[in-house]
Amino acid sequence: MDEQAIATNSVTTTTANTGCLISEEWFGRTVVVSASGVVDMLTSPQLEASIMTSLDKNPAAVIVDMTEVEFLASAGMGVLVAVREHAGPDVGFGVVASGPATSRPLKLVGLAEIIGLYSTLDEARAAVGE
C-alpha cells in the first residue's frame, strides 16, 4: 500500500468563535497539524496546545500546515519557534506556508530557516517525514 495515501487518527478542534480550525493527521510516524483561518493572539494558544499534544505522542516528525491560514500574527510565529525548540533535534520539523499571509512574514522576520519553511505538504514530507 502507498504510505502517502494512508492517514490515521484525524482529530479536529475548533477554537471557539475565532475563525481558526486546527486538525491533526498521521502518516506513519509523521504528524501533520493543519490550521486554517486566523492565527493571532487569541488562537495561537490553541495551535500551540494542539502541536504540543501531538509531540506528546512521540512522532518522528511534525509538520505544521498553514496553507489555509488567512492571517498570521506575531503570536503565531512565536508559537512556531517555541514548538520547534521544544521538539528538539531528534524530531523532524517543518512548516508549510506558501501564501503572502504566511510565507512572506516568516521570511521577512528571518524565521524561514529556523523553522524549516516549505511551499507544499509533499515537499515538507519529503524533507522531514519518514
Give the CATH fold of the 20-128 domain: Transcription Regulator spoIIAA (3.30.750)
pLDDT for 8: 53
Rounded CA separation 114/60 (Å): 18
Which three three-digit cell numbers place residue 75? 503570536
Give the DSSP H/E element, type plus range, for residue 21.
strand 20-27
Rounded CA separation 83/11 (Å): 19
Q: Please tell me the pTM assigned to this model.
A: 0.87
Strand partners, 34: 23, 65
Amino acid in position 6: I
pLDDT for 30: 96
Per-residue pLDDT of the chain (130 residues; tens, 9 = 90+): 333 434 455 554 544 456 799 999 999 999 999 999 999 999 999 999 999 999 999 999 999 999 999 999 999 999 999 999 999 999 999 999 998 999 999 999 999 999 999 999 999 999 997 6
